[in-house]
């Protein structure tokens, strides 16, 4: 873990977050600046800078299963939801700790932007 990484500090409990679910590999919490009526963030417990740096298939699978779990718990499975992993600066990644955004509760448009 990195002392400078906000998501590592959330995992470590030194920064508060509204946790909604967890599993062995990750945690899910509400985004502080939601972009949809339901906006959750799923992160690995260990520091991985981005999807480009990920190498553990079990960890990635567990994060996706956690994203599906929180979407179900938010009631998004019936109407649909989006899972986004911004990777790198040009893609809009502002926190360099792998994270998945789970967005739903409104119609999503394509392309996203």
- pLDDT value for 41: 98
Q: What is the pLDDT of residue 112?
A: 83
Please confirm, yes or no, whether 47 is among the known catalytic residues.
no
Q: Compute the distance between CA of residue 1 and CA of residue 47 in angstroms, rounded to an integer.
A: 5
For the chain, which ranges sit under pLDDT 70? Answer: 1, 113
Sign of CA dihedral 28, 41, 43, 95: negative
Q: Considering the candidates 96, 97, 99, 101, report the single residue annotated as catalytic.
A: 99
Chain mean pLDDT for the chain: 96
Give residue 1's pLDDT. 67
Q: Where are the beta strands (DSSP E) in the chain?
A: 19-22, 26-30, 38-44, 81-84, 100-104
CATH superfamily, domain 6-104, is: HIT-like (3.30.428.10)
Domain spans in the chain, listed from the N-terminal domain onward: 6-104
Note the pLDDT of residue 3. 77
**What's the whole-model pTM score?**
0.95
């Amino acid at each position: 873990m990195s002392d400078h990484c906000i998501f590592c500090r959330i995992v470590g409990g030194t920064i508060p977050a509204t946790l909604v679910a967890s599993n062995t590999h990750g945690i899910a919490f509400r985004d502080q600046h939601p972009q949809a009526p339901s906006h959750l963030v799923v992160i690995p417990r260990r520091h991985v800078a981005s999807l480009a740096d990920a190498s553990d298939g079990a960890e990635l699978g567990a994060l996706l299963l956690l994203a599906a779990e929180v979407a179900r718990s938010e009631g998004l499975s019936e109407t649909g939801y989006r899972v986004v992993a911004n990777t790198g600066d040009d893609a809009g990644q502002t926190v360099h700790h792998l994270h998945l955004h789970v967005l739903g509760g409104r119609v999503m448009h394509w392309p996203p932007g």
